[in-house]
């Protein structure tokens, strides 16, 4: 199941996002879940009394999780719609073409964002630039930092370099959404707490980051100005057949202005998301709506590849960055000048 926040592409400014589910495998057509919920109740009025899922209107995934429901519960609405309606009916007002929709972040207001550092190729490159080996602790512990949840962007939302920065970089990552409370959860069960995955762009201001990490604290201002999530959330069953090693055999690419500059693969991850959940939930409560980031897929940022790829520079206003992961979709962001 693919879940997304979407609204009409030409909706009035400030129109709320509505929760949708992909009505076909390609994600070309999307079902408005609130319209489908109301239709199901008209067919069977008992649903509103017997099922918490159907009792209240469906607005956002954030609100759905706040009611104590998991992402997978939404499948019942989609399945009932498919059983009762012709999904390919072009006149059905419950269905919209992706081209007629504008998409938002899969989770609009994450409670927290822990970003890990789980791909050895990326980590080794960072330490090699300092003429130092990867610390032994990295191989023993899934390391993370807390990022800023106030600056979450969705698909096609503009991004700009922060003040005093000339080295804006993308970082292609896998994001995971926690959809149930978890505390001290063992690695072998950690992925049970994940409701779905999405593409994540952990934007970096490399010059600011360099100054901050020189004093062994951070990253802070080099990271907290923007994180882009999307284009939709994909439930674990959709990628299960690609499981490989600690991750999934799903190719990742980064394209700038139509030029492919990075290639990687989720399967090369050193720590599984189960191990990340174990580390993140140790002695603390993870809450539904929290987000975990994988860290940069090896080779999937300009700091690693800008010279060898031929791109040769950091990002500038006018650039368009598209990060794509097989089965998770493509996430595009325009780079613009910093607003004054």
CATH number of the domain at 123, please: 3.90.850.10
Residue ranges with strand state E in 27-171: 29-32, 95-97, 101-103, 113-116, 144-146, 152-153, 168-169
- Are both 123 and 47 inside the same structural domain? no
108 in any annotated domain: no
Q: Are residues 82 and 14 in the same domain?
A: yes
Q: Do 96 and 166 have their domain in common?
A: no
Q: Which two tokens stand for residue 311?
A: 């791109």
Check if the beta carbon of residue 322 is closer than 8 Å to that of residue 331: yes
- Tens of pLDDT, residue by residue over 207-243, are 999 999 888 887 899 999 999 999 999 999 999 999 9
Average pLDDT, the chain: 95
- Residue 288 domain-assigned (yes or no): yes
Are 130 and 231 contained in the same domain? yes
The residue segments making up the domain with residue 26 are 2-103
Residues 117 and 45 in one domain: no
State the pLDDT at residue 128.
86
Query: How far is 53 from 291, CA to CA, in rounded Å?
Result: 23
The alpha carbon torsion through 83, 84, 86, 92 (nearest 10 deg) reads -130
Question: Which is it for strands 227-234 and 152-153: parallel, antiparallel or unpaired?
Answer: parallel
Say yes or no: 183 and 313 in one domain.
yes
pLDDT tens-digit profile of 127-164? 887 788 999 999 999 999 999 999 999 999 999 999 99
- Would residue 339 count as lying in a domain? no
- One domain, residues 8 and 133: no
Which tokens in the block code for residue 269? 């991850």
Over residues 253-272, the pLDDT tens digits come to: 999 999 999 999 999 999 99
Nearest to 17 by CA among 241, 309, 229: 229
- Whether 259 is in a domain gets the answer yes
SS3 of residue 203 by DSSP: coil
Q: What is the pLDDT of residue 90?
A: 57
Question: Would you place residue 88 in the very low, low, confident or very high pLDDT band (cuts 50, 70, 90)?
Answer: low
Last residue of a domain, one of 103, 125, 140: 103
| C-alpha triplet 89, 332, 198: angle, nearest 5° | 75
Same domain, 132 and 223: yes
329 forms beta bridges with 325
| CA angle (193, 228, 142) in 5-degree steps | 45
Q: Is 218 within a domain?
A: yes
Q: Is residue 191 part of a domain?
A: yes
State whether 206 and 166 are in the same domain. yes
Per-residue model confidence as pLDDT tens digits over 61-74: 999 999 999 999 99
274 within a domain of the structure (yes/no): yes
* pLDDT tens-place string over residues 302-314: 999 999 999 999 9
**What total number of domains does the chain contain?**
2
136 domain-assigned:
yes
Helices (H), 146-246: 187-190, 206-213
pLDDT on residue 89: 55
Helix (H) or strand (E) holding 54: helix 52-55
The 8-class DSSP code of residue 73 comes to: G
Domain end among 80, 103, 126: 103
**Which one of 103, 121, 138 terminates a domain?**
103
Using only C-alpha atoms, what is the Rg of the chain? 20
What mean pLDDT comes out for the span 275-292? 98
CA 266 vs. chain centroid, Å, equals: 14
Q: Domain check: are 119 and 262 in the same one? A: yes
Task: Identify the pLDDT of residue 258.
Answer: 97
* Token pair for 20: 């949708």
Shared domain for 96 and 168, answered yes or no, is: no
What is the per-residue burial (b if ≥16 Cβ within 10 Å, else e) of 250-275?
A: bebbbbbeeeebbbbbbebbbbbbbb
Yes or no: say if 221 and 162 are a contact pair by the CB < 8 Å rule: yes
Question: Same structural domain for residues 48 and 144?
Answer: no
| Per-position b or e across 172-184, b if 16+ CB within 10 A of its CB | bbbbbbbbbebee
């Amino acid at each position: 199941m693919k879940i997304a926040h979407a609204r009409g592409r030409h909706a009035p400014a400030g129109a709320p996002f509505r929760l949708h589910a992909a009505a076909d495998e390609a994600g070309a057509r999307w079902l408005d879940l609130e319209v489908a919920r109301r239709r199901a109740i008209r067919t069977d009025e008992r649903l509103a009394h017997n099922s918490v899922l159907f009792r209240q209107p469906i607005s956002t995934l954030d609100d759905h999780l706040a009611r104590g429901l998991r992402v997978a519960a939404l499948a019942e609405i989609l399945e009932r719609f498919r059983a009762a309606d012709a999904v390919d009916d072009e006149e059905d007002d419950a269905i919209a073409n992706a081209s007629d929709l504008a998409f938002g972040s899969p989770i609009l207001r994450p409670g927290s964002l822990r970003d890990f550092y789980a791909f050895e190729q990326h980590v080794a490159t960072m330490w090699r630039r300092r003429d130092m080996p990867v610390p032994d602790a990295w191989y023993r512990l899934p390391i993370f930092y807390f990022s800023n949840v106030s600056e979450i962007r969705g698909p096609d939302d503009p991004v700009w370099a922060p003040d005093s920065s000339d080295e804006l970089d993308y970082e292609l990552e896998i994001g995971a959404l926690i959809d149930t409370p978890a505390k001290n959860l063992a690695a072998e069960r950690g992925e049970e707490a994940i409701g779905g995955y999405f593409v994540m762009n952990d934007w970096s201001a490399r010059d600011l980051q360099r100054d901050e990490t020189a004093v062994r604290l951070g990253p802070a201002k080099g990271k907290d100005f923007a994180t882009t999530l999307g284009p939709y959330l994909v439930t674990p069953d959709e990628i299960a057949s690609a499981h490989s090693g600690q991750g999934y055999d799903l190719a990742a690419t980064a394209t700038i202005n139509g030029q492919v500059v990075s290639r990687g693969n989720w399967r090369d991850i050193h720590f599984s998301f189960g191990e990340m959940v174990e580390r993140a939930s140790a002695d603390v409560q993870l809450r539904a709506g929290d987000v975990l980031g994988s860290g940069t897929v090896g080779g999937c940022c300009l700091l690693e590849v800008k010279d060898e790829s031929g791109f040769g520079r950091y990002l500038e206003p006018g650039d368009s960055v598209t990060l794509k992961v097989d089965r998770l979709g493509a996430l595009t962001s325009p780079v613009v000048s910093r607003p004054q």
